[in-house]
Structure 1
Amino acid sequence: MTCFQLIFSPTGGTERVAKALTETWPEVQTIDLSAQNFTAPAIPFSADDLVLIAMPAFEAMAPQPALDRLALLQGNGARCALAAVYGNRAVDNTLAQMEDYARNAGFQPIATVSAVAAHSLLPEFAAGRPDDADCQQLAVFGKQILEKFTSGSDTCPPIPGEHNCKEKRAGLIPTVNANCISCGLCAQECPVGAISYDNFTVTDPSKCITCMRCVSRCPVHARSVDAAIVAQVTDFLRARCSDRKENELLL
Structure 2
Amino acid sequence: MMVYQLIFSPTGGTQAVANALSGGQVVDLTDRNFDFSSVALTAEDVAFIAVPSYGGRVPLPAVERLGKVHGGGARAVLVCVYGNRAYEDTLAELSDVAEFAGFRVVAGVAALAEHSIARKYAAGRPDESDKAVLRDFQARIQAKLDAGDTTAPALPGNRPYKKRGVRSIVPQAGKACTACGRCAVVCPVGAINAANPKVTDSSKCISCMRCVAQCPVHARDLNPVVLGGLELALKPVCSTRKENELFL
TM score, norm. by length of structure 1? 0.94
Equivalence for 1:4: 4
Distance 1:92 1:242 in 2: 18
For residues 203 and 164 of structure 1, the distance between their equivalents in structure 2, rounded to whole angstroms, comes to 32
| Stretches (4+) displaced over 6 A | none
1:189 equivalent in structure 2: 186
In 1, distance between residues paired with 2:174 and 2:208?
Answer: 19
Structure 2 unaligned blocks of 5 or more:
none
Label 1:75 to 1:245 Cα distance change in 2 as closer, same or farther (>3 A). same
> Residues 19-168 of structure 1: matches in 2 within 5 Å?
19-22=19-22, 28-40=24-36, 42-165=38-161, 166-168=163-165
Residue 175 (structure 1) shift: 1.3
- CA separation in 1, counterparts of 2:204 and 2:229? 24
Paired AA for residue 237 in structure 1 = L
| Shift, 1:169, TM fit | 3.1
Between the aligned residues of both structures, percent identity stands at 46
Q: Structure 2: how far apart are the matches of 1:177 and 1:29?
A: 36
Deviation at 1:232, TM superposition (A): 1.4
Unmatched runs of 5 consecutive residues or more in structure 1 = none
Q: CA deviation at 1:41?
A: 5.6
Length-normalised TM-score, structure 2: 0.95
**For residue 50 of structure 1, what is the amino acid of its counterpart?**
V
Look up the match of 2:16: 16
Query: For 1:113-143, what per-residue CA distance to the aligned partner results, in whole angstroms no more than 9, with x for missing partners?
Result: 0000000001111111111111111111112
User: Quick one: which amino acid aligns to residue 235 of structure 1?
Assistant: L
Deviates further, 201-210 or 81-90: 201-210
Distance apart, 1:164 and its partner CA:
4.2
SS in 1 for 2:106: strand
How big is each residue's C-alpha offset from its partner over 1:190-209, in whole Å with a ceiling of 9 and x where there is no partner? 11111000111111122211
Distance between the aligned counterparts of 1:36 and 1:186, measured in 2? Answer: 13
Higher mean displacement: 130-139 or 77-86: 130-139
